[in-house]
Structure 1
């Protein structure tokens, strides 16, 4: 996949079929749309492309829109590359671009700069100033420009249309296993191991406290999770807690910490990658440290039973 980050003054891409969107998470619905783009491109003997943006357009416009993203820009690019699309076009979204009508965007950007010959519209997608125009309008503009416009089929799973907002809702509810069904992969976080209070070490369950790399990345709901851990080139089984650790009076601070099973090495300041598999339980306040330790032993056994030893 070739990445195009800036627009051209004259068409420099080969003729292509394209779909437009933010593609947060590159979930199963996105992949279904991309496969339709690839199919249309193959039938026409042209290239396939995606147009997306490094930052969500509504955030660029300063509307107070605070989106918790499923994928960082780099993660999104990697997932898009795995789809086999030919081009990932990623211009910066600007206030000037937001003022373009759908027809102006199609004529001045898609047709004039990116050599788009076929435009595939997601079943629920709208673009152009105020997103006020419909598929019929896009189709008419395409006829005027010599650009074919197609309405994509929707992707459904368990009788529901898959969307990024649906995945966010599942993750915030701790349903990481269900979210994986919609994403097509396990949700993950990347960060750095930082100093913590070292309480876990004192009770026999040392933890790596994690500072997430991108502060805009969505953090799943509070609870204890079975996870896969990648650190220093190796993969391990872990149990991870997200929350405020009420038993030790952690206050309002929300921490992310992982106990890596059968692991003793010092990994402070190491990069770490967490892949969520399943939530084991919600976060609880115990009456004593002894009760907490007993529960952590049960949690470790359950995680090991679920994921196995590594």
Structure 2
């Protein structure tokens, strides 16, 4: 995939393009990309995705805290995996935010990217105030020599697949439906830091995972069957997201992963957690012994839900 940004200019050859933040590069995005690719193939040109380095709302509201499904690097890797020919990453600033749709189409799509067709997302709006819609884009395209078509949405299990729907599933702890939308398990990457080490006293040592960014969404509090990857190796795991209520935690949210068949020092090491299934809500137990017995049941439940990594 050829990356177009401030340091890398766009090729002079034409393309078919679409615009969006593409958070998660979920199955709905993948379906849109396939429509762009089909139109590009029909025309004998490249397929180009236009996206943004940061969430546009962060420019418009300084206190906005994104709840992202993917970092920029993750997003670019997924777009490349989808077979995109070119990706233009724009820096959304107040000057860009002030552009009306026609100005954006001329300045970026026509003059910079040499787009001959735009496949507009079925519900996507762009331009100052997002006041203009598909009919406007078609009209401006006729003036600029850009053929504008509307993409078809994708439904899965009766849900129109979108980034916002995926976030709602994660906020509710429904990682299975989030995976259905994404086409893969939802994952978080971070670094293992020292924790309270209570799990070790219960026979379940855990890795305290500090996410690499505060911008990514964390699934609802609870216990999950998961897969963890470190140093290129994958391990079945059970993961607790929560505030340690049995031990009167200070209210801060932690992500603690117990890796099966693993006994090594992970402090300071990178670790990725892919959430497979939610086992139960987090709750307070009357004693450490009660918690240990529940953890033993959770471990059995996790093993029955997961096939060994690599199968």
> TM class by shorter-chain length?
over 0.9
Partner residue of 2:292?
293
Deviation of residue 177 (structure 1)?
0.9
Deviations 1:62-96 (A, max 9, x none): 25332200000000001111111100110211111
Q: 1:162 to 1:300 in 2, by over 3 A?
A: same
1:160, 1:306 → 2: CA distance? 25
Query: Tell me, what secondary structure is at the counterpart of 2:126?
Result: coil
2:116, 2:192 → 1: CA distance? 48
1:51, 1:278 → 2: CA distance? 33
1:70, 1:288 → 2: CA distance? 36
Moved over 6 A (4+): none
8 Å CA contact 1:244–1:255 kept in 2: the answer is yes
Query: Tell me, what secondary structure is at the counterpart of 2:192?
Result: strand
Deviation of residue 146 (structure 1)?
1.0
Structure 1 residue 229 corresponds to structure 2 residue 228: yes
Query: Tell me, what secondary structure is at the counterpart of 2:138?
Result: helix
Q: What is the TM-score when the length of structure 1 is the normalising length?
A: 0.97
Query: Tell me, what secondary structure is at the counterpart of 2:90?
Result: coil
Q: How does 1:60-139 map to 2 (within 5 A)?
A: 60-62=59-61, 64-139=63-138
Output the aligned Cα RMSD. 1.4
Q: 1:17 to 1:144 in 2, by over 3 A?
A: same
For structure 2, list consecutive stretches of 5 or more residues without a partner in the other structure: none
Deviation of residue 7 (structure 1)?
8.0
8 Å CA contact 1:15–1:117 kept in 2: the answer is yes
Deviation of residue 196 (structure 1)?
0.6
1:14, 1:185 → 2: CA distance? 34
1:40, 1:203 → 2: CA distance? 58
Partner residue of 1:250?
249
1:62, 1:7 → 2: CA distance? 27
Deviation of residue 245 (structure 1)?
1.0
Q: How does 1:202-241 map to 2 (within 5 A)?
A: 202-241=201-240
2:307, 2:106 → 1: CA distance? 56
Q: 1:308 to 1:40 in 2, by over 3 A?
A: closer
Query: Tell me, what secondary structure is at the counterpart of 1:141?
Result: helix
1:260, 1:41 → 2: CA distance? 45
Q: What is the TM-score when the length of structure 2 is the normalising length?
A: 0.96
Partner residue of 2:22?
23
Query: Tell me, what secondary structure is at the counterpart of 2:299?
Result: helix
Partner residue of 2:38?
39
Q: 1:8 to 1:233 in 2, by over 3 A?
A: closer
Q: How does 1:173-212 map to 2 (within 5 A)?
A: 173-212=172-211
8 Å CA contact 1:190–1:273 kept in 2: the answer is yes
Query: Tell me, what secondary structure is at the counterpart of 2:190?
Result: strand
Deviation of residue 111 (structure 1)?
0.4
- Mean Cα displacement is larger for which, 130-139 or 61-70? 61-70
